[in-house]
Chains A and B, each alone.
Chain A
Amino acid sequence: MAERAVLGVHRGRQGGAGPGAHPSIGGRRRSLADRIGERGLYLLSLAAASLSVVIAGGLVAKVLAEAWPALSAFGLDFLTTSAWDPVHGRFGAAAFLFGTAVSSFGALLIATPLSILIALFLSELSPRRSRGPIAALIELLAGIPSVILGLWGILVLGPVMRDTIEPALHDTLGSIPVLGNLFGPDYSIVGMLPAIVILTIMTVPIVSSLMREIFATVPAATKEGALALGATRWEMIRTVVLPHARPGMVGAVILGLGRAVGEAIAVTQVIGGTEGIRANLFLPSDTLASRIAGQYQGATSDLQIASIAYLGAILLALALLSNGVARLWVRDAAGAAA
């Protein structure tokens, strides 16, 4: 733009002879190919960018439209009903909301400290040479398809859960008042606890790599300032790295939460798929996403399809909320550091 303005002034000084008066600038016409190419690339890329926006908008609209029959039939009662009864046409999301909350928070409860440690390890504490390979391995963990984690969860993790881990947890923690109810005596291959473990495995690589990026935004000068005062590595982390990274870390955890909330396949493979609201983590349960996945083999009525879409709409709202909020948070943190 600036160049063009300068040229315009220049041309003006020529005495207002109009385009063409300055042979080397105004006189040269662009070739036809250039004009088509210029326009074409712009329009093509604009179309592609618009398509991405249309997909995003259309997705929200379509899911709401699909859910409309159930929305109008059940209204907000859907959120507080825990039935899923295709025979009598009674549907509700309460049990799945509960299952989603427990499985996601449970997973993040384990994944958050683990991810912080891993991210600190990779950005501050490990020998520099080992950082690249270890980071790559952890990112490969993120690349394992969820259906394979689910397969592993049901055929390998499940039996170990039932035979070893769950009895051990029950024996050690089962007698604690109130909290002990989480670790009741009914051991099972499928259930909430395996789902939490699988979701932990899925979220750790994502959350830790986000946190690593955030830790990397802490200025070296600030870290050196702490070290030069005689801080140990950990004290440097505690006094300057963590406070600096806190908002971004919150964002990373919320993003991880969004991921855990939305995972359908691996969870549906290991959680067992029942509608009850129970404290015992060993018992089968179900989440919003997992219930949707579990219904793929066909619904018996249009209302059931709409109810599935209603579950989807709730899930979408949760995902958009967590993602939208977290992205702003992460970006602010990164932006403030830049």
Chain B
Amino acid sequence: MTIDRKELDAAGRVRHETPPGPRTEVPAVDRVGVEHGASGSRVHLEDVKAYYGTKRVLHGITLSLEPGVVTGIIGPSGCGKSTMVRCINRMHEEVPGGRCEGRILLDEIDLNGPEVDVVGVRRAVGMVFQKPNPFPTMSILGNVLAGLRFVGVPRERRIERAEAALTDAGLWDEVKDRLSDPGVSLSGGQQQRLCIARALAVEPDVLLMDEPCSALDPAATMRIEELITQLKRRVTIALVTHNMQQAARIADVTAFMLAGELIEVGSTDRMFTDPQDERTEQYVTGRFG
């Protein structure tokens, strides 16, 4: 199931096509602050099945995440939405017995290709988790620098990159005077923005956000939502949420999942006003189960 592009254009949400050609030729650093069009990569899942041990939890998902677009993924808990996004940066492999079948393409690159190193995948596809998980033994700055160290950014450039990432995450002004405080000394919402900054610092093409606000209060949630809207020009965003209002507020495209299947996907406006599938309608109107 792919998104009807006309429908998106009609909704006035899609900005421009990604520049064609493999992203690999564009040095990551140069893309910072590109103003024309949307940056980020297109992710295409094709008949993705995921298993934990012998139990199948995804039954063949086909879906595209478009650049410049926030794709909201909604569905009742246990429907496989977390598993699906975890497959995109292969974090599902960290769960005992986790594996996935089918193709997941980042632009033209098959993420599960034999020559692809998982480290490269995760550098290109960042992830923000449900509960803020700053590294407890590291300072605020150290948390942002950690990823830069991994990907081999030269020492002298790390600080400026970290500052840029903290600025992008809307956290710089709040923490610039206490960069050496422990990351865990921040409030929950700040911790989550620190985790976003940490993920942004390595300049990923895609950012997966797995219910990033579910542990936060409404004010902190609003800050993150604003941030997501600002970031979407820069990086392709998948937002898993159990909160339909949140999807309605910030997702451009919404995908509805149920019991390991993708039921319906389309522009958020249409999904909430004119769902095609009966189950989607029941879910978005709160009459589910």
The 10 closest A-B pairs by CB, nearest first: A230-B123, A243-B137, A229-B147, A228-B127, A230-B122, A221-B133, A225-B133, A231-B150, A230-B119, A230-B150
Q: A224-B133, A225-B134, A235-B150 are in contact. List 15 more A-B contacts (CB 8 A).
A: A221-B131, A222-B135, A224-B94, A225-B129, A225-B135, A225-B195, A225-B198, A226-B135, A226-B146, A229-B123, A229-B150, A230-B119, A230-B150, A240-B135, A243-B135
Q: Give complex CA distance A219, B136 in Å.
A: 10
Known pairs A224-B94, A239-B146; A230 contacts B120 (CB<8 A) = yes
Residues of A within 8 A of B27 (CB): none
Return the chain B residue nearest A231 by Cβ.
B150
Residues of B within 8 A of A227 (CB): 91, 94, 122
How close is B246's CB to chain A, nearest CB, in angstroms? 21
B202–A230 CB distance below 8 A: yes
How close is A169's CB to chain B, nearest CB, in angstroms? 39
Return the chain A residue nearest B130 by Cβ.
A221
Is B89 an interface position by the 8 A CB rule? yes
B181-213 vs A, Cβ < 8 Å mask (1 yes, 0 no): 000000000000001001100100000000000
Q: Give complex CA distance A240, B136 in Å.
A: 8
Is B286 an interface position by the 8 A CB rule? no
Is B21 an interface position by the 8 A CB rule? no
Is A232 an interface position by the 8 A CB rule? yes
Is B126 an interface position by the 8 A CB rule? yes
Q: Give complex CA distance A222, B96 in Å.
A: 17
How close is B180's CB to chain A, nearest CB, in angstroms? 15
Q: Interface residue count for A (Cβ, 8 Å)?
A: 19
Contact of A229 among B96, B120, B122, B131 (CB under 8 A): B122
Q: Give complex CA distance A243, B182 in Å.
A: 13
B135–A228 CB distance below 8 A: no
How close is B162's CB to chain A, nearest CB, in angstroms? 13
Known pairs A225-B195, A229-B198, A230-B123; A244 contacts B146 (CB<8 A) = no
Is A39 an interface position by the 8 A CB rule? no
Is B151 an interface position by the 8 A CB rule? yes
Which B93-125 residues have C-beta < 8 A from chain A?
94, 96, 119-123
Contact of A228 among B91, B131, B149 (CB under 8 A): B91
Q: Give complex CA distance A221, B95 in Å.
A: 12
Residues of A within 8 A of B120 (CB): 230
How close is A10's CB to chain B, nearest CB, in angstroms? 39
A224–B122 CB distance below 8 A: no
Residues of A within 8 A of B121 (CB): 230
